[in-house]
Structures are given as C-alpha cells and as structure tokens.
Amino acid sequence: MGDVRHVLVLPDRDAAEEAAEALAERYELDEEPQLVRDALAGEDDAEDAQWLLVIEDPEARLSAAELDDFAAEWDGWREEP
C-alpha cells in the first residue's frame, strides 16, 4: 500500500506532546509521531502557533474516524490530505 501520512492539528505544544505520547502507546506505532510548529500567517509570537502531529502510517492501520476522535480529546482536529 502507498505511503499514508496523517496530520493532526493541536492548539499548543503541551497538547501536542501529550497527544504524541498517547498516540504512540494507544496505537503501537512503528515510528514516533513528528511534532512540527506551524506559526500562523503573520504571527511571530510562539503563543500564536499551532502544533502539527505528523503520523506515518505506511500500512494504513489508522482510521480517519479514530484519529478525528483522538485529536478532539486535545481540542484539535485531523487535516484532510
């Protein structure tokens, strides 16, 4: 199957770090999710940044619905590819 990547958008770094740990434990991922800071357009302040959690899912084991629910636990959402 092709390379599948999921992106969860989370409101802050703490939420992203907690979600990354929980995701790795809950779904027994082969690779740790990658945290990426996404500054909002025109904003220099770190407080105005969203954090992205990038999950490599080469075997397409994770469902979109599960990830939607998971991201919502941290007031986040899953980006559609």
Read off the pTM.
0.84
According to DSSP, residue 12 is labeled S
Total domain count, the chain: 1
**What's the chain's Rg over C-alpha atoms?**
13
- The tens-digit pLDDT sequence of the chain (81 residues) is 467 899 999 999 999 999 999 998 898 888 889 999 987 655 555 556 889 999 999 888 899 999 999 999 999 999 987
> Where in the sequence is the domain holding 37, given as residue range(s)?
5-79
Q: Which residues pair with 35 in a beta bridge?
A: 53
CA-based angle 73:62:22, to the nearest 5?
A: 40
Cβ neighbourhood burial of 49 (10 Å; 0-12, 13-18, 19+): middle
The CATH number of residue 45's host domain is 3.30.70
Cα separation of 7 and 79, whole Å?
A: 6
